[in-house]
Structures are given as structure tokens and as C-alpha cells.
Amino acid sequence: MKSFAVSSIALLAGLISTTSAQTHTDCNPLNTTGCPNMQALGGNATFNWNKTGIIQNDKVWRMPNQGKIDWDGYGATFTIERSGDSPTANSVFYMLFGRLEVVMRVAKGKGIISSAILQSEDLDEVDWEFQGSSPQILTNYYGKGDNTTADRGENFDLDFVPQDDFHNYTLDWTKDRIQWWVDDKQIRELKYAEAEGGTRYPQTPMNVRIGAWAAGDVTKNQKGVVEWAGGETDFSEGPFTMTVKTVYAKDYTSASEYSWEDMDSSGDWQKVKVIEGKSDVLQEIQSPSGVTERWDALSKGAKIGIIAGALGGAALAAVAMLFFCVKQRRAGRREAQALLTQEQKEAAELSEYKSQMQSGKFGLGSNRV
């Protein structure tokens, strides 16, 4: 694969506009105090998205972006129907070292990117990425968002077509090494010291982000991004669907929360404060009523985010304000403020997701067979 670089100015033009504050990205724990605690998984969980209980309503997974997530009997379907769709499921929970197994069928279609990644609030990141028109798999990682070197990404040929069938893509992440597994084969290992002496090694609590987007959308993305994605997306050939059958996650720390309280600019894992106890997420997963949420049960905030995304950035503010006003009358100022904050966070995450994707952060690297 050819690697390329995209300038930040060029990228800004391609970003979806959002009207809300960057509440999510503003708090960089490496140089800011008081960043909020993260909920831990603190154990293991299997998400069987081949059953109707798709995504637990905001307590376990959130869907910040525009685009349809549904169910088709095989799994949760992440469908791109039109320009601007980028259906994404983000885990509410974080893991401090851990394991992620995603059994999925990759979306077919020129310029369509399917991804399953781990990412932290200070932009540590470990990636699986697929182009919709290529049988290759792209692996990548980032430490503290540093994208100044082009030697982190590696592409691999597979002995199957990932768009045709379900396969198991596993990340195993410890303080010493990260392994990428495809089914029962390890295809890559990164040792701590190999990431610039560990300074660029992912080592802060990461959450799970699974989704698909049209990097080949010429109305939204720069030429370089479209080329990187494998070419221009023709939406009339859609819809484009990525299907996720199961997700297994295991946190290697048994925490209830992670805190940035003791963090400094090093971003070292030793500076992450582990708050012991049973996590709310694990409690939710293990409660009998906790697994039945579907689209219908999505939070109003998430629905508004998706609808507003369809309408465009400016409309988001209007809808959010309308919701704010209605809600304010009904539920009082404090509750309304909390809802609005959540909506802003979701909108900010949409923007962050876009910029992270569009910054061409994926698959810049060498070819491996």
C-alpha cells in the first residue's frame, strides 16, 4: 500500500461541522487537571450481537454518530446508506490493558472503511482497519496521538476475503506488548520498547470503538483520504453494511473506575489511578434487564445526535436547544443541563471520531505478508 500524509489544514475543510464545545477532547489529561474519571469494565463480558439485544443503552455502549445500527439475525449491522453516515458503537467502559475479540464481517464497497479500535483520552490507540474494496487488513497504533512517524502502520494479506465471511480479530494488550490476532494466527506483535522506548506505547485506559465510515465520500473528504480509502464511494451501490456478531472484552485490571488524578505529561500507565471495586458497567451487564436495549430504547440524546447528524451541524444546536427547552419545563433546569451536556459530549465525539479518521491515521505503513 502506498502511504500518504494529509495536512491538517486540508483536513479541517473535510470535517463535519458541529456546533458544540469540544468537551470530550478539551480535557487532555497530559496537561489538564480535573479530567473526569473513566468507568472501568473491571472484568470480562461477551456481547452477543447476534441476538436482538444489540447495544445497551448508554450504560455499556453509546452510539454517538449518524447512521443506522440494527440487527439482521447474524449480528449488529452498521449500515452506511448515504453521505455522512458513520454508524459507531463506543463502549462506555475502559480497560487498562486488556483483550478485545471482535467477530465480524467487513463492509464491502469502494471507499468504505470498517474499523475496530481501542482509544484513550490522551489518544493512545490500537487499530484494526479494513478497506471495503481490498482483502488486506491494516493494523496500526498511536502513543499520545503522536502521528509524526509513518512506521507504525502495517498491512497484511489474508488468506480469506474479510468482506465475505465472519472472522475473529483479536487485540491482546498488556504493559509489555500488543498482539494482533486473526482467527488463530498472530500476525503482529509490538513490544513496549519498540514504540520509541515505550514513550509511544499505548498505556492508558482505552475504550472500544467499532464502526464504519465512507472515507471515499468525495463531498466530505480530501482527495488524499479518498485515495487512501481505495477510491471514490458510489452511494448508489449501497447500502454498505458491516456486521458484528460478537464482541468479547476483558479488562486486565479489576477496577470500578480509572482516574487521571496523578497523571502528568508522561502519560505513563503507572500514573493512572486504579479505583478498586465492582464497576457499574459490570453490574449493568450482569443484571437481567441490562441486555435488552435496542434502537427503540436509545437515549433521546443519542437519537437527537443521529437525527441532527442527518440534518447537519447547525440543526444540531436547534434540536438540542428545543429539547433543552422542552425538557427544562418538564424536568427542571438541573436535569436538562445534564442532558444537554451529554448531547454535547456525543456531538463532540462525533467530531473527534471524524477528525481522527480523516486525519488519515490509519494504515500508513509498510506491507507485510
Tell the burial category of 141 from Cβ atoms under 10 Å away from its Cβ (0-12, 13-18, 19+): buried
Query: Which of the stretches 24-32, 33-41, 125-133, 193-201 binds ligand NAG when contact is defined by CB under 6 A?
Result: 24-32
**Do the Cβ atoms of 357 and 364 come closer than 8 Å?**
no
**Residue of minimal CB distance from ligand NAG?**
8
Is residue 11 a contact residue for ligand NAG (CB under 6 A)?
yes
Q: By rule CB under 6 A, what count of residues binds ligand NAG?
A: 26
List residues bridging with 88 in a β-sheet: 211
Query: Which of the stretches 41-49, 259-267, 304-312, 343-351 binds ligand NAG when contact is defined by CB under 6 A?
Result: 41-49
The correct pick among 14, 29, 42, 43 for binding ligand NAG (CB under 6 A) is 43
Nearest approach, Cβ of residue 231 and ligand NAG (Å): 20
Nearest approach, Cβ of residue 101 and ligand NAG (Å): 4
Reported residue count of the chain is 369
Question: How far, in Å, CA of 237 to CA of 108, rounded?
Answer: 10
Is residue 22 a contact residue for ligand NAG (CB under 6 A)?
no
Question: How far, in Å, CA of 160 to CA of 167, rounded?
Answer: 9
Q: What is the DSSP string of 111-130?
A: TEEEEEEEEETT--EEEEEE
Give the SS3 label for residue 46.
strand
The correct pick among 1, 23, 36, 101 for binding ligand NAG (CB under 6 A) is 101
Question: How far, in Å, CA of 217 to CA of 238, rounded?
Answer: 12
Query: Which of the stretches 1-9, 34-42, 55-63, 299-307 binds ligand NAG when contact is defined by CB under 6 A?
Result: 1-9
Q: Is 2 left (phi over 0), alpha (psi -120 to 50) or beta?
A: beta
Beta-carbon neighbour count of residue 352 at 10 Å?
17
The mark string for 130-149 relative to ligand NAG (x by CB under 6 A, - otherwise) is ---------------x-x--
- Residue with smaller CB distance to ligand NAG, 19 or 48: 48
- Residue with smaller CB distance to ligand NAG, 170 or 233: 170
Is residue 13 a contact residue for ligand NAG (CB under 6 A)?
no
**Do the Cβ atoms of 109 and 133 come closer than 8 Å?**
yes
Which residues, numbered 162-221, are part of the site for ligand NAG (CB under 6 A)? 168, 170, 181, 184
Residues tagged active-site: 125, 129
Beta-carbon neighbour count of residue 10 at 10 Å?
15
Is residue 19 a contact residue for ligand NAG (CB under 6 A)?
no
Binding residues vs ligand NAG (CB under 6 A):
5-6, 8, 11, 28, 31-32, 43-44, 48, 50-51, 101, 103, 145, 147, 168, 170, 181, 184, 246, 248, 250, 359-361
